[in-house]
Amino acid sequence: MARRVYVFDTTLRDGEQSPGCSMNIQEKIEMAKQLERLKVDVIEAGFAIASPGDFQAVKAIAETIKDCTVASLARAHEKDIDRAAEALKQAADPLIHTFIATSDIHMQYKLKMTPEEVLARTKAMVAYARNYSPNVEFSAEDATRSNPEFLCRVFETAIAAGATRINVPDTVGYTTPEEFTRLITYLRENVPNIDQVILSVHCHNDLGMAVANSLAAVRAGVNQVECTINGIGERAGNAALEEIVMALKTRTDIYDVDLRVETTQLYRSSKLLTNITGVAVQPNKAIVGANAFAHEAGIHQHGVLANRSTYEIMTPESIGLHKNTMVLGKHSGRHAFEEHLKALGYTLTKEELDAAFAKFKVLADKKKVVQDADLEVLVSQKKVEIPAVYKLEQFVINTGNTFTATALVRLSKGNGDPQVLEEVSTGDGPVYAAFKAIEKIVGHSFVLEDYKVRSVTEGQDAQGEAFVRIRRNGRLFTGKGVSTDIFEASVLSYINAINKMIYEEKLEAQV
């Protein structure tokens, strides 16, 4: 019988720490719902004590998710554990994940603690966490650079104190598959109570070996892998969930393990994360990249046409990529629209469907044919909408190569009986001029950290996506806009970022 391996997703905690990947509470909830559809075993929802926003996000996800374990990270301190437990109070299956560093360099320079003090803290804090939850994971930060004998003592202590999962992190992405195999084997042979827990690994990608190290650990006997969608995370990122899962599923001859993950949700999970953060994967990214199932070389095309297995070791359908021949346009009805979304794997509530269909009709008036990618953007955009204080009413841009660009922007503020505000500004370019006009209306100036535009689909009538990242008072806010007019998409993205800023500041004021 195949051995069970658990998938611990930390996209919303470790992944979100990646520069440019921050999410607001609504976006985190929507991503968590998708992870639940993906059927990961554990969703690490955040670091509850890190900020009021993190606490609220963990709490909201714990209250929403019913089919996955929900975890919160906590340092080995009572206050951290108290905060995590409070956030997880309504979770169907809560997990407190506490950690302390165990390498000599971390103990000496960061913790300023002796090994014996680390052992004592481990014992006390794991026991403290067990008072709140029957599920406690203990991680030894920088485990792969720790003394193996000391690591055994720490893990034995944590298990005796009540830990139900033991995690071996390659915190700085330093190890290699061969080294990691030896370390896991050593731990399994020298920690006497190791068979009482789920043994886990958490690999970073600093040397590009996070997935390889995770897979080596699975072969060496671990029962859980910690990873993120698209491999996002600090520095070079974490082990990519989609790569680990498809490697385990595709090479069953090597990895005889059983996973709960619904692989047909992998592509959708990747796309949703990209739509939320604006951080796209490179075209040649394994599994979910745009070129992962593309064949340009003539010999490859010939082979695939004869038999797909000549050059494809997995099918596009296995990760949720479907080729749909049904064409949608402005004359398409609600039933056809709904059936098309179902074929793409989306199941919407009546209210969500009503809103999506209304937006589809507007889009269909602008485009001759609405493609699958258009629908995916339309649906994902609706799902992560936040309350909009400012809405675009009108904009006019005058630009050329012989005069300064000028933009007039008119926004409405508030709901019910909204206030209409209008400003004009000039700038070095049309988009910059529009952004300056918006800032005049809002009454704040921002630092534009990033601005990028990409085409969602092909053709002259393709929708364009604009992403902005703005900074105010040391905080970053991302915004996204979609339109067949790239200027409109840019204006919408800036307004979206400002609305997110207002929304997050309001939430924090309530805490």
Taking 80 as the threshold, does the pLDDT of residue 326 lie above it? no
Q: Tokens 């409405």: give the residue.
A: 412
For 367, how many CA atoms within 13 A lie in the half-sphere containing its CB? 28
Which residues have C-beta within 8 Å of that of residue 56, sequence separation ≥ 6? 25, 507, 511
Instruction: Read off the pLDDT band of 172 (50, 70, 90).
Output: very high
Are the CB atoms for 70 and 57 separated by under 8 Å? no
Instruction: Read off the pLDDT band of 327 (50, 70, 90).
Output: low
- Token pair listed for 294: 């593309």
Least confident of 55-64, 134-143, 360-369: 360-369
Per-residue pLDDT averaged across 326-335, rounded?
75
pLDDT of residue 311: 65
Each residue's pLDDT tens digit, 52-77: 889 999 999 999 999 999 999 999 99
Measure Cα distances from 148 to 123, 144, 312 in Å.
18, 8, 41
Cα–Cα distance, 6 to 24 (Å, whole number):
27
Taking 80 as the threshold, does the pLDDT of residue 305 lie above it? no
pLDDT of residue 324: 53
Taking 80 as the threshold, does the pLDDT of residue 374 lie above it? no
- Environment class of 335 (CB within 10 Å of its CB; exposed 0-12, middle 13-18, buried 19+): exposed
Sheet strands (E) in 311-442: 390-398, 405-413, 419-427
- Look at 202 and 283; give whichever has higher pLDDT: 202
Are the CB atoms for 213 and 239 separated by under 8 Å? yes
Secondary structure class of 264 (helix, strand, coil): helix
Per-residue burial over 281-300, b = 16 or more CB atoms within 10 Å of its CB, e = otherwise: beeebebbbeebbebeeeee
pLDDT of residue 239: 98
Phi and psi dihedrals of 105, rounded to 5?
-65, -40
pLDDT of residue 13: 96
Taking 70 as the threshold, does the pLDDT of residue 345 lie above it? no
Cα–Cα distance, 508 to 148 (Å, whole number):
43
Name the strands in the sheet holding 447-455, side by side, starting at the edge strand that comes first in the sequence.
447-455, 464-472, 475-483
pLDDT of residue 299: 46
Each residue's pLDDT tens digit, 221-276: 999 999 999 999 999 999 999 999 999 999 999 999 999 999 999 999 999 998 88
Taking 70 as the threshold, does the pLDDT of residue 6 lie above it? yes
pLDDT of residue 333: 82
Cα–Cα distance, 207 to 263 (Å, whole number):
27
Taking 80 as the threshold, does the pLDDT of residue 385 lie above it? no
| Percent with pLDDT over 70 in the chain | 92
**Residue 83, amino acid:** R
pLDDT of residue 300: 45
Taking 80 as the threshold, does the pLDDT of residue 383 lie above it? no
Each residue's pLDDT tens digit, 457-511: 666 667 888 999 999 988 888 898 988 899 999 999 999 999 999 988 887 777 6
pLDDT of residue 473: 87
Which residues have C-beta within 8 Å of that of residue 233, sequence separation ≥ 6? 10, 14, 15, 17, 18, 204, 205
Are the CB atoms for 345 and 314 separated by under 8 Å? no
**Residue 353, amino acid:** L
Neighbours of 256 (CB within 10 A): 12
Q: Mean pLDDT over all residues of the chain?
A: 90
Per-residue pLDDT averaged across 27-44, rounded?
96
Cα–Cα distance, 240 to 213 (Å, whole number):
11
**Residue 396, amino acid:** V
Q: DSSP code of 393?
A: E
Which residues have C-beta within 8 Å of that of residue 224, sequence separation ≥ 6? 5, 6, 7, 8, 41, 42, 165, 167, 198, 199, 200, 201
Taking 80 as the threshold, does the pLDDT of residue 381 lie above it? no
Each residue's pLDDT tens digit, 398-442: 999 888 999 999 999 988 888 999 999 999 999 999 999 999 999
Cα–Cα distance, 93 to 369 (Å, whole number):
45
The DSSP bridge partners found for residue 470 are 448, 477
- Look at 239 and 323; give whichever has higher pLDDT: 239
Taking 80 as the threshold, does the pLDDT of residue 347 lie above it? no
Instruction: Read off the pLDDT band of 108 (50, 70, 90).
Output: very high
Secondary structure class of 352 (helix, strand, coil): helix
Per-residue pLDDT averaged across 92-105, rounded?
98
Helix, strand, coil content of the chain in percent (nearest 5) = 45, 20, 35
pLDDT of residue 308: 67
